[in-house]
Structure 1
């Protein structure tokens, strides 16, 4: 087999394809702490990942070479060489795509990258078991605290606004520090069993501290983030991942927004019938009060 091009030849777009391939591989697998370290190391270096040997990774992460082999087996391969070949296929996919001129201008190309993120999210939800499991847990938590700080706060508020149409007690928390801990503590005292957290890059240190505090308080944590293996994932009981595009001046969150909507939709289906009926009651009331302009 011919050797792939050297690291200097791996363009940013190729590295993005490798990162997407890596995320697809690790999605849905329960990894040990050392295996999560391997995955995180590779996800942080997609431009190098296709060239590294098992020994390279073991030395960099501070583990044994057999641990790298066990990681490859844990994510569905017979060994590390097969795992690495699967990553290298992403480069060949990129070469095939480059051979087809798109005629897109730079803004269209950025939007096209977001379309690929949505396709990746769609494909990852072929099995909705994990989504339904998390949604059922959120539906049963009374109250339901929802945490999102800094850039993740708007998604937390979007979820909270929509979910509150049926869930009787949704509490959105968007302030760090003592305010965050106080509101989480009051939710626990009131009977909360789950916390839904949104953690998108860049990841606030206070958010990690909030997840740690929540689990110590007995809450189960569902995390919506951009990587199944990342700096926040190890502090969650369930992770729902949607890729974020970094090709814009600021990260675009189209896929996480769609995942947020899908989670609300699935959670509402898990609520008791009497609470689902409150959505129709709101619509009838809104019509009577003429809250919205006619469409």
Structure 2
């Protein structure tokens, strides 16, 4: 029995352009089965070569073979399954959050890693491309309870300079956030950190990736791929949980830092009053 279209699409890591094609196919499968490759490209708002690469990725011998498959493996439209594509994306996030919740039932390892992060002064945090925003968010929160968090945003030799300077200042740990697609800069950063003897914690989307052999420890939370771009809702929750565990590990010093920031915020009127 041939695999359903949904099963076929979710079995592969798709680029943003390929996801636009997949989204159109899932929303209008019967229409898509009658389209030429050029027409599918026009409807999905991608180039025709993108369609060709998409069909090859799925394992078909040309577009004609793929269209024959569509005629026999047509799923119901997304709306008929109880929601539109935006609701389907939220559903995917909810499933990922449920997976993360189950993972955190035993919080022993999370707390152990949090204590290690608090013991590194300075604490180094890095992330590239799409992961840069997640790294910045984690570093911002960690700064509220950790005395010296350094966000490293450069790559290559500049990263190496910053890494060595922090190592001389006493850094023991690098936290690297690396979400799909994994930049080569992430691999280089892990290698440079380990060469200096730093402990490396990788926060990523799966327990095993191309990067995990380079890291000393790995924390993972799944990303949702139902939309053109990934949703990192579960990863955000994981990093917030890690900061919470860091605050628990710091104890009174974390409370003092948090209270100190609130006093500073009130003194300088940093936030609008609700």
Give the TM-score normalised by the residue count of structure 1. Answer: 0.67
Q: State the shift of 1:289 in Å.
A: 2.3
Q: SS where residue 9 of structure 1 aligns?
A: coil
Rg larger in structure:
2
Range moving further from structure 2, 218-227 or 246-255: 246-255
Instruction: Give the paired residue count.
Output: 211
Q: Does 1:9 align with 2:27?
A: no
Distance 1:185 1:141, change over 3 A: same
Q: Does 1:137 align with 2:131?
A: no
**Which ranges of structure 1 fall in alignment gaps of 5 or more residues?**
20-46, 49-100
Is the contact made by 1:146 and 1:160 (CA closer than 8 Å) also made in structure 2? yes
**Which ranges of structure 2 fall in alignment gaps of 5 or more residues?**
14-57, 60-79
- In structure 2, distance between residues paired with 1:214 and 1:252: 28
Deviating 4+ runs (over 4 angstroms): 13-19
- In structure 2, distance between residues paired with 1:240 and 1:254: 15
Alignment match of 1:201 (pick from 166, 180, 192): 180
Alignment match of 1:164 (pick from 124, 133, 143): 143
Q: Which residue of 2 aligns with 1:284?
A: 263
Is the contact made by 2:88 and 2:226 (CA closer than 8 Å) also made in structure 1? no
Q: State the shift of 1:105 in Å.
A: 1.2
Within-5 A mapping of 1:202-217: 202-217=181-196
RMSD (CA atoms)? 2.2
- In structure 2, distance between residues paired with 1:103 and 1:12: 15
Q: State the shift of 1:158 in Å.
A: 0.6
Within-5 A mapping of 1:220-235: 220-235=199-214
